[in-house]
């Protein structure tokens, strides 16, 4: 039986979402094949072994963060547990990081696991970092000839002068000339709509930028797109495949954090999405090309807008560790395409081990 370490929690604004996603993954892990080892990461960044296991295998019951012994990451030595009697090895065949957002989805954990010589589920270091940074991802997609939502980048350093109000007026003028109002503002490196808000004028823009820059040193300003929100699951390493896309119909002004995770009536999921066959296949094709452009592996959810008036497709963003809660789109779209949740988890572990074997064939000394 293979031991899969489920890493959850994390030092992130999406900490609570991670607890729910991890619970769902544990509930659907093939218990005949895998043993789940729970390692929770507190908001302080400390890793601890949850020795008692989950309270239940109910996917709706978030995993807890206990006060178990600290877990250490050993360069070239895997994982270890710090006990009173000393340090002992924590056997691990594969790590499944269920860490949304910063310090989990951005390449930091992936780099740490590479140093520890541990196989892990999901995108490698560079792909994770690129997928997390919405600006860099869009620049690469543009280079690859893919359609993206237009954007402006604003950095905290832009407000380093003595006239922040003047900076806001200048930016508002650019929004007026390039996009028109309303506009949406969000952290460049973030997820789950944390720090994202809508701006209807210059005063709103200042407030929205202030909120976004609490979560990152860089923010994006994007135009309002009158479009349907379509998402597409992609799975695989060198040969990725895309599943039938789904649609999110939000009852909120936009698909914000509350609609995603708090309000039970915040959104309706339509899987598969009611789309023309040509558009559906275009979405799947572009999703794979977007995945490949960022050199992703394992899994990702690629998000689109489809303009209501013209059916134009626009790439919005990618999530390299998408939500796995009981209402999350990624596993539901895979199920719609014929891949059951349990088998999806199994394939993700197999893809992680496959990528590890490929890397072991490379040379690292001359």
What was the pLDDT predicted at 159?
A: 81
pLDDT in tens, 34-66: 999 999 999 999 999 998 766 566 666 788 887
What was the pLDDT predicted at 360?
A: 83
What whole-number distance in Å separates Cα of residue 171 and Cα of residue 186?
Answer: 15
pLDDT band at 257; cut points 50, 70, 90: low
Element (H, E) at 225: none
What whole-number distance in Å separates Cα of residue 353 and Cα of residue 89?
Answer: 20
Average pLDDT over residues 291-302: 98
Average pLDDT over residues 246-258: 70
Average pLDDT over residues 245-259: 70
What whole-number distance in Å separates Cα of residue 352 and Cα of residue 361?
Answer: 15
Average pLDDT over residues 106-131: 97
DSSP 8-class letter at 261: I
R_g of the chain computed on alpha carbons: 21
Element (H, E) at 170: helix 164-178
- The residue among 53 and 18 whose pLDDT is bigger is 18
- The residue among 256 and 364 whose pLDDT is bigger is 364
* Tokens of residue 136, six digits: 């860099």
pLDDT in tens, 3-17: 999 999 998 888 999
What was the pLDDT predicted at 164?
A: 80
For 126, residues 6+ apart whose C-beta sits below 8 A from its C-beta are 107, 295
Going along the chain from its start, the domains and CATH numbers come out as: 2-120 (3.40.50.20), 131-148+225-358 (3.30.470.20), 152-223 (3.30.1490.20)
Angle, helices 108-115/125-132, rounded to nearest 10 degrees = 170
Instruction: Examine the pLDDT at 188 and tell me if it is beyond 70.
Output: yes
What was the pLDDT predicted at 362?
A: 83
User: Among 156, 173, 123, 176, which Cα is nearest to 290's?
Assistant: 123
pLDDT band at 253; cut points 50, 70, 90: low
pLDDT band at 158; cut points 50, 70, 90: confident
Angle, helices 134-143/125-132, rounded to nearest 10 degrees = 100
pLDDT band at 364; cut points 50, 70, 90: confident
What was the pLDDT predicted at 161?
A: 67
Of 187-201, 227-241, 326-340, the one with minimum mean pLDDT is 187-201
DSSP labels, 264-331: TTSEEEESS----HHHHHHHHHHHHHHHHHTT--EEEEEEEEEETTT--EEEEEEESS---STT-HHH
- Residue where the block lists tokens 């080892």: 37
What whole-number distance in Å separates Cα of residue 73 and Cα of residue 193?
Answer: 31
* Tokens of residue 262, six digits: 């708090």
- Residue where the block lists tokens 């995108």: 123
What was the pLDDT predicted at 267?
A: 74
Torsions phi, psi for 15 (to 5 deg): -55, -50
CB atoms within 10 A of CB 69: 18
Average pLDDT over residues 67-93: 95
What was the pLDDT predicted at 125?
A: 97
Of 158-162, 259-263, 334-338, the one with minimum mean pLDDT is 259-263
Q: What is the mean pLDDT of the chain?
A: 91
For 360, residues 6+ apart whose C-beta sits below 8 A from its C-beta are none
pTM above 0.75?
Answer: yes
For 339, residues 6+ apart whose C-beta sits below 8 A from its C-beta are 235, 243, 347
pLDDT band at 255; cut points 50, 70, 90: low
Instruction: Examine the pLDDT at 290 and tell me if it is beyond 60.
Output: yes
What whole-number distance in Å separates Cα of residue 45 and Cα of residue 18?
Answer: 14
What was the pLDDT predicted at 58?
A: 67
pLDDT in tens, 261-279: 555 566 789 999 999 999 9
């Amino acid at each position: 039986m293979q031991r899969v370490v489920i890493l959850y929690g994390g030092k992130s604004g999406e900490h609570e979402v991670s607890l729910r996603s991890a619970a769902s993954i544990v509930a659907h892990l093939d218990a005949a094949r895998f043993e789940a080892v729970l390692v929770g990461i507190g908001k302080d960044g400390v890793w601890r072994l949850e020795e008692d296991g989950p309270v239940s295998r109910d996917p709706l019951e978030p995993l807890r963060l206990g006060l178990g012994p600290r877990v250490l990451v050993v360069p070239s030595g895997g994982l270890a547990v710090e006990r009173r009697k000393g340090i002992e090895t924590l056997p691990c065949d594969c790590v499944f990081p269920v860490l949304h957002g910063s310090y989990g989805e951005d390449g930091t954990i992936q780099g740490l696991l590479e140093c520890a010589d541990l196989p892990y589920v999901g995108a490698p270091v560079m792909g994770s970092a690129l997928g997390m940074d919405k600006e860099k991802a869009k620049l690469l997609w543009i280079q690859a000839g893919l359609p993206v939502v237009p954007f402006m980048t604003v950095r905290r350093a832009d407000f380093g002068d003595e006239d922040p109000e003047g900076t806001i007026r200048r930016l508002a003028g650019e929004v007026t000339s390039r996009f028109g109002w309303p506009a949406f503002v969000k952290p460049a490196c973030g997820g789950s709509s944390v720090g994202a808000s809508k701006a209807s004028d210059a005063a709103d823009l200042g407030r929205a930028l202030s909120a976004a820059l609490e979560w990152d040193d860089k923010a994006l300003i994007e135009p309002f797109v009158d479009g349907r929100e379509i998402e597409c699951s992609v799975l695989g390493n060198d040969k990725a495949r895309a599943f039938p896309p789904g649609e999110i119909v939000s009852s909120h002004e936009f698909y914000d954090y509350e609609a995603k995770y708090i309000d039970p009536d915040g959104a309706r999921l339509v899987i598969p999405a009611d789309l023309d066959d040509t558009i559906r296949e275009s979405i799947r094709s572009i999703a794979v090309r977007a995945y490949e452009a960022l050199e992703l592996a394992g899994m990702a959810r690629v998000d689109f807008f489809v303009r209501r008036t013209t059916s134009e497709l626009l790439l919005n963003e990618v999530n390299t560790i998408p939500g796995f809660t009981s209402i999350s789109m990624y596993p539901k779209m895979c199920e719609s395409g014929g891949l059951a949740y349990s088998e999806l988890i199994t394939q993700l572990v197999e893809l992680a081990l496959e990528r590890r074997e490929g890397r072991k064939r490379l040379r690292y000394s001359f």
